[in-house]
Structure 1
Amino acid sequence: MKKTLVSALLCSVISLPALATEVNIQTSMGNIRVDLNEKAAPNTVKNFLRYVDEGFYEGLIFHRVIRGFMVQGGGFDKDLERQQTHHAIAYEGDNGLKNYRGTLAMARTSDPNSATSQFFINHNDNAFLNHGARGGAGYTVFGKVISGLEVVDKIANVPTRNIGPYQNVPTTPVIIEKVTRVD
């Protein structure tokens, strides 16, 4: 009898789903709550949470905003001063997650292994950003918006302009006030 009870308890514990890691992105336009997918992109989530835990994102802006495409932030302050980051991380874009509307993905240069702190939220389904879509690496998706998509829509619709080498910069800064883990 004890063996059966212990076996049943172990089976129920083993089959429990992993706890989701959620963060709240508090912006000057409202809150965006995101569920991070540690199973599909463990190193990317770990990297993002390192910046979150350090308070890195506080006071940074969404510096690139393109309606119908995406909103990007996490690298510049309101004066467009680039922030010092940790080393780049390895590409995890072949994890099966797609760049659908409301998903969170890592920004990078043309080098797939160059993502650091910058991220973007897809404003539309962007299949051309998926792994293999253009014959190679895509952009690593590592989370999805679970509330606050209307805030993403508001951000995506702000007027933008070009400032020096930077394009699609909101005319009024959209500030990331704080990013915190949700318990």
Structure 2
Amino acid sequence: MRRALVCLLSLAAVALFAAPKPRVKLTTSMGVIVLELEPQAAPKTVENFLKYVRKGQYKGTIFHRVIPGFMIQGGGYVDYLGKKRTEAPIPNEADRSKAAGLLNHRGTLAMARTGDPDSATAEFYINLVNNPSLDFKSRKDGNTWGYCVFGKVVQGMDVVDRIAHVKISHARSDFPALPAKPVLIQDATIQ
């Protein structure tokens, strides 16, 4: 009986660690991007992102910051540049995600924030190249804290690259990397 219980607990532990990672499908005006999230490395960040997906936060938002050779950022503005309401900011888990081996490398997904390390809400970005300057270095200040990586693109990196090469409008000084024609996130769903 005891041996059977040990075997059962061992199988349960293996199943827990082998559980599939959550995936989110972003349907954009330029194609589909599928993201695989890392809840073991950044649990609060992943739950925050999934909460926004569940409530439809990203539907109708745009990629409002597109910088070739750096990243594309979205999730916070609608196409007429109205800011979407968000929940309270979450704690920055960049130290934890880096310790788990998640770095701001090409194709990874991370939370956008202000200069305050704990200011991330709904906006996210996808790295177009390796960006080591965005990784956690220390808890000293906002410049060294880094940006929390919490997932990666598993399908649609070609779509991300197409978004990265859209024409940028220079008409708005407050949005210097805004695409001339909006790149919409038409929907975001958990797969």
Do they superpose with TM above 0.5? yes
Q: CA deviation at 1:104?
A: 0.4
Query: What are the superposed Cα offsets for residues 39-78 of structure 1, whole Å, 9 maximum, x if unpaired?
Result: 1111111111111000011000000001110000000011
| Match runs of 1:98-177 below 5 Å | 98-132=103-137, 136-162=144-170, 163-177=172-186
TM-score when normalising by structure 1: 0.94
The equivalent residue for 1:73 is 74
Name the structure where strand makes up a greater proportion of residues: 1
- Cα distance in 2 for partners of 1:161, 1:135 equals 28
Q: CA deviation at 1:4?
A: 3.2
The equivalent residue for 2:20 is 19
- Counterpart residue type for residue 15 of structure 1: V
Q: Secondary structure at the match of 2:49?
A: helix
TM-score when normalising by structure 2: 0.90
Q: CA deviation at 1:23?
A: 0.5
- Cα distance in 2 for partners of 1:109, 1:75 equals 13
Q: CA deviation at 1:14?
A: 1.0
The equivalent residue for 2:85 is 84
Deviates more, 1:82-91 or 1:15-24: 15-24
- Cα distance in 2 for partners of 1:126, 1:108 equals 16
Query: What are the superposed Cα offsets for residues 117-172 of structure 1, whole Å, 9 maximum, x if unpaired?
Result: 10000010101100018972001101001111000000001111232411110111
Number of matched pairs: 181
Deviates more, 1:155-164 or 1:94-103: 155-164
- 2:115·2:143 contact (CA, 8 Å) conserved in 1? no
The equivalent residue for 2:54 is 53
- Counterpart residue type for residue 40 of structure 1: A
- Counterpart residue type for residue 174 of structure 1: V
- Percent same amino acid among aligned pairs? 45
Q: Secondary structure at the match of 2:185?
A: strand
- Cα distance in 1 for partners of 2:116, 2:143 equals 14
- Cα distance in 1 for partners of 2:158, 2:130 equals 16
- 2:104·2:127 contact (CA, 8 Å) conserved in 1? yes
Runs of 4+, deviation exceeding 4 Å: none
- Cα distance in 2 for partners of 1:85, 1:14 equals 36
Q: CA deviation at 1:10?
A: 2.4
What do you get for the CA RMSD once the two structures are aligned?
1.5
Name the structure where helix makes up a greater proportion of residues: 2
- Counterpart residue type for residue 137 of structure 1: W
